[in-house]
Structure 1
Amino acid sequence: MAMLTHIVAVGGIVENEQGQVLLVKTQHGGWVFPGGQVENGENLIVALVREIKEESGIDIMVSSLVGVYSNTATYKWHDGVTDVPTKVMLDFTCKPLGGELGTSDETSDSRWVDKNEVLELITAPAIRTRFQAYLDFSGNTTYMEYVTKPNFAVKLERTI
């Protein structure tokens, strides 16, 4: 029997008092809001605080759960052999507490961007879709299933 595995990841939409959102530029994905995989033994909030600090230099407080996403695309990893597991991503709104903008091994740039200009920088369809859910957030958490390969497509969208 195959081992059942999900990758769990968290994303943080950090908005400051000026209505700007924290974005980081990654080596592969272009501009995104920061986040990453939850490590073994780590809770979601600790993981998100760690990832945002690592990728951007900014310290944050996690506020609300905006969206839960399943990427159910089945495809092979870069090695052409390994099956990529289903990814479950949880996006949270966050408030900045301090720190200084910086970069990491994974990021080449970080900046505060006016909320209404964010979608001009983000090109990845899945990240755009998740940021739009944040813009539309009215208190009800979005749940969405999508696939990223061979082409991006939303399979299910509802609030929970």
Structure 2
Amino acid sequence: MKQFPTHIVAVDGIVENEKNEILLVKHRDKEIWTIPGGQVEIGENLTDALIREIKEESGIDVTVNKLVCISSNTGTYEGYNGYGIVPTKVMLGFTCSFIGGELSVSDETSDSRWVSKERVLDYITNPNLIERFKAYLKFDGNIQYIEYITKPSYDLKLKIKI
């Protein structure tokens, strides 16, 4: 029997406030700073998933504005927590505007804060996230597409504007 291809679909949002600061969250499991986001659940649309993930991870309410980056982790690797193989992942990166809420933490995050746009790259260390943040900084209306693998080590395979 044939099987449909399987991809994890995820979203993240670069949230900017009225002071041009960017929202960052620190994930508990890896203790790394990142842009809030996560996997789209069954039956959920992309923008609703992003609004939910940002609220869950940081306590912040947002509006979703523009799609700026699509990235694909085309590598697969051994799973964890009882899962088998981790399939390829497609991540859609959006810009968002802060509309309310109070910074907080969650089961997934140990810290959340506003960081000046110029200092974001002092916090984030994940190579793919760095590439996606640079796509946001250079956004000119054209969407950046990034292909990469993370295992055994990070390898940027492709970076083009579409």
Same fold, judged at TM 0.5 (above):
yes
Q: Which residue pairs with 1:13 in the alignment?
A: 14
Match of 1:100 among 82, 95, 102: 102
SS at match of 1:47: helix
Q: Which residue pairs with 1:159 in the alignment?
A: 161
Q: Which residue pairs with 2:41 in the alignment?
A: 39
Q: Distance in 1 between matches of 2:54 and 2:14?
A: 10
Q: Which residue pairs with 1:87 in the alignment?
A: 89
Q: Which residue pairs with 2:149 in the alignment?
A: 147
Cα RMSD after superposing both structures: 1.4
Moved over 4 A (4+): none
Give the unaligned 5+ runs of structure 1. Answer: none
Q: Distance in 2 between matches of 1:156 and 1:80?
A: 32
User: Quick one: which amino acid aligns to residue 36 of structure 1?
Assistant: G
Structure-to-structure mapping, 1:12-91, within 5 angstroms: 12-27=13-28, 28=30, 30-78=32-80, 82-91=84-93
Greater Cα offset, 106-115 or 22-31: 22-31
Q: How many positions carry a matched residue from both structures?
A: 160
Q: CA deviation at 1:4?
A: 2.3
Q: CA deviation at 1:128?
A: 1.2
Q: Distance in 1 between matches of 2:6 and 2:53?
A: 21
SS at match of 1:39: coil
Question: For 1:103-158, what per-residue CA distance to the aligned partner results, in whole angstroms no more than 9, with x for missing partners?
Answer: 11000000000001001010111111111111111111001111111111111111
Q: TM-score, normalised by structure 1?
A: 0.95
Q: Distance in 1 between matches of 2:75 and 2:89?
A: 9
Give the unaligned 5+ runs of structure 2. Answer: none
Greater Cα offset, 110-119 or 21-30: 21-30
Q: Distance in 2 between matches of 1:138 and 1:149?
A: 31
